[in-house]
């Protein structure tokens, strides 16, 4: 109806995300640290068991780790902070007073928030772990470029879907927050789920073989794992198009289900006081 309003919501959260420059630097240092530790662990494992039959080469595992670390803030760890605050203070009733589609309104804001956090970090970390590391003579440990131009293209589309998928999962946390009038539950559930199931803790391709197919079919795989595997040109069950299909499936399913759920919650929302 009024795309301008949604752009505005996006712009506001994008600005807020960029405002925390110190957090960007601090996060970056932490992510470099975790990245480096993981790399050493992988190097040790691959060195002692060169033929574990892992679906990623050591070089690919390193690039996977750098990309994963650089995209940590793209994960749906909990609700949008603005929604959490509004629910806690009761100002959430003003969100219902706006002539906008509440789902798209919060979705735009959530997407902007994720991108505003993730993009600056990803660019910085990619520069440090990629060309800079290579120049410093750490080429063997660095972030490698995409496997091929085709892989780059697929990965770009998949990263875009991944960001949207993550924002859609954040929407589920937002609705949950509106339901309980507190953001805490969304963090308690969202953070462990996202960290574990996105492959942030251990890349999904490195799980035991029997678990791999299930892990790639669940929604959190679509956020960073699938795009990164396409970037690496690594094998995916169902091929690259099947992987994009998994992302699109979850996007559609969660949007439809989430919208229904939100309507129910909003109809019953009773903010006390004032």
Partner 1 sequence: MRIASPAIEVENLRKIYRVREGGSWRGRTREIVALDGISFAVPRGQIAGFIGPNGAGKSTAIKILSGILRPSSGLVRVGDLIPWENRIAHVARIGVVFGQRTQLWWDLSVGEGLALLRDIYGVEPDRFARNRARLADALDLHAIMDQSVRQLSLGQRMRAEIAAALIHDPEVLILDEPTIGLDAPSKLAVRAFVRDLRREQGTTVLLTTHDMHDIEALAERVIVIGHGRILADSPFEALRATTLSERRLEVDFIGTPPVFDLPPGAKETERDGRSVTITFDPRQIPAPALVAHLGALAGLDDLRIGRPAIEEIITRFYADHAS
Q: Which residues bind partner 1 (CB under 8 A)?
A: 1-2, 4-5, 7-8, 12, 16, 89-91, 93-94, 96-101, 267-271, 273-274
Cα separation, 110 vs 79, whole angstroms = 8
Minimum CB distance to partner 1 smaller for 72 or for 103:
103
Q: Among residue numbers 214 through 273, which ones bind ligand ADP (CB under 6 A)?
A: 270, 272
Q: Closest Cα partner for 175 from 94, 255, 73, 274?
A: 255
Cβ pair 104, 168 in contact under 8 A: no
Cα separation, 243 vs 213, whole angstroms = 11
* Rounded alpha-carbon distances, angstroms, from residue 130 to 26, 120, 144, 157, 190: 19, 15, 7, 21, 30
Task: Give the torsion through C-alpha atoms of 148, 151, 156, 159, to 10 deg.
Answer: -130
Q: Closest Cα partner for 130 from 146, 147, 111, 143?
A: 143
Which does residue 91 touch among partner 1, ligand ADP, none (CB within 5 to 8 A, set by kind)?
partner 1
Minimum CB distance to ligand ADP smaller for 90 or for 192:
90
210 part of the interface to ligand ADP, by CB under 6 A: no
Which does residue 12 touch among partner 1, ligand ADP, none (CB within 5 to 8 A, set by kind)?
partner 1
Nearest residue to ligand ADP, by Cβ distance, number only = 270
Q: How far is the CB of 264 from ligand ADP (least distance, A)?
A: 17
Instruction: Count helices and strands (H / E) in the chain.
Output: 12, 0
CB contact set of 149 (below 8 Å; sequence gap of 6+): none
Minimum CB distance to ligand ADP smaller for 12 or for 269:
269
Q: How far is the CB of 274 from ligand ADP (least distance, A)?
A: 7
Q: How far is the CB of 103 from ligand ADP (least distance, A)?
A: 23
Cα separation, 170 vs 166, whole angstroms = 6
Q: How far is the CB of 108 from partner 1 (least distance, A)?
A: 12
Q: How far is the CB of 19 from partner 1 (least distance, A)?
A: 8
Minimum CB distance to partner 1 smaller for 3 or for 208:
3
Q: How far is the CB of 178 from ligand ADP (least distance, A)?
A: 13
Binding site for ligand ADP (CB under 6 A): 270, 272
């Amino acid at each position: 109806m009024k795309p301008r309003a949604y752009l505005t919501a996006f712009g506001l959260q994008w600005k807020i995300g960029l405002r925390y420059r110190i957090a960007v630097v601090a996060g970056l240092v932490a992510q470099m640290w975790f990245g480096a530790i993981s790399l050493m662990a992988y190097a040790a494992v691959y060195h002692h068991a060169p033929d574990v039959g892992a679906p990623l080469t050591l070089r690919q595992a390193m690039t996977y780790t750098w990309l994963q670390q650089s995209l940590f803030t793209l994960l749906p760890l909990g609700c949008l902070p603005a929604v959490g605050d509004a629910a806690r203070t009761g100002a959430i009733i003003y969100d219902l007073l706006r002539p906008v589609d509440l789902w798209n309104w919060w979705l735009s804001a959530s997407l902007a928030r994720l991108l505003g956090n993730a993009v600056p970090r990803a660019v910085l970390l990619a520069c440090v772990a990629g060309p800079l590391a290579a120049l410093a003579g750490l080429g063997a440990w660095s972030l490698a470029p995409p496997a091929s131009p085709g892989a780059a293209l697929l990965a770009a589309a998949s990263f875009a879907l991944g960001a949207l998928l993550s924002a859609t999962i954040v929407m589920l946390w937002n609705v949950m927050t509106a339901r309980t009038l507190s953001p805490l539950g969304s963090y308690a559930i969202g953070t462990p789920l996202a960290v574990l199931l996105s492959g942030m803790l251990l890349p999904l391709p490195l799980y035991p073989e029997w678990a791999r197919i299930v892990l790639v079919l669940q929604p959190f795989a679509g956020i960073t794992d699938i795009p990164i595997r396409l970037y690496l040109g690594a094998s995916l069950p169902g091929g690259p198009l099947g992987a994009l299909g998994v992302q699109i499936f979850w996007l559609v399913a969660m949007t439809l289900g989430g919208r229904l759920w939100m309507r129910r919650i909003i109809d019953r929302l009773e903010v006390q006081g004032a």
